[in-house]
Homo-oligomer: A and B are copies of this chain.
C-alpha cells in the first residue's frame, strides 16, 4: 500500500498534468460532521487560471447532498495500490459505512476547504464550488481548485482509468514530444 506520500504544493494552473489524462478519482466531502468518499470518472479540466474542473456527480450518490450543501470537496488521485478501495467505494453506499475506516484511508486537512483529503492518494485538489448553473439539469458542478499538492515521486503515477464493466486501464509508458512545441496553449 502506498501510504503517507511526502507531498509538495502544485501551482494551481498546473493541475492538468494530473487530471487531463483522465484518471478515476476519489472525491471526499464533509457536511455537518458527516464525511464520505465517492469514486468518480466523469470530470475534466476547464480552465488554467482560475483553475477550473467540471464534473458530474449523480444525485443518487450519498455524497451528492454533502457536496451540494457544503459547496466544496477534495478531488484525490488514487493509484493502482488503491484499486480495491476505488472499486469498493464505487459500489457501496456511503450512508451505510465510514469509508475512511472501512478502506484504511486517512483523512487529513488541506487548505481552503473543510472537507478532508485522503492521505494515501498521490495528489489532492481542494475545490470550492464556482458555478452550479447546470447542477439541476445535468448534475454538473464546476469547481475552482484552491489548493493542490502531489507526491514528489513517482513522477508518472500508475493511475487507474475506467472503461466501464469493471475494467480499468492502468497508466502505461510515457512519450515526449516536447521538442515539437506542444506547449503553445499552456501558461508558464
Contact = CB atoms under 8 A, between A and B. Distances in A.
A1 interface: no
A45 interface: yes
- Most B CB contacts (10 A, CB to CB) among A133, A174, A182 go to A182
Size category, A interface: 35 or more
Interface stretch (A71-79, A96-104, A107-115, A158-166): A158-166
B41 A56 contact: no
Interface string A32-50: 0000000001111111000
Contacts of A163: 16-18, 20-21, 156, 174
A121 interface: no
7 contacts: A16-B164, A21-B22, A21-B162, A43-B44, A46-B56, A91-B180, A167-B177
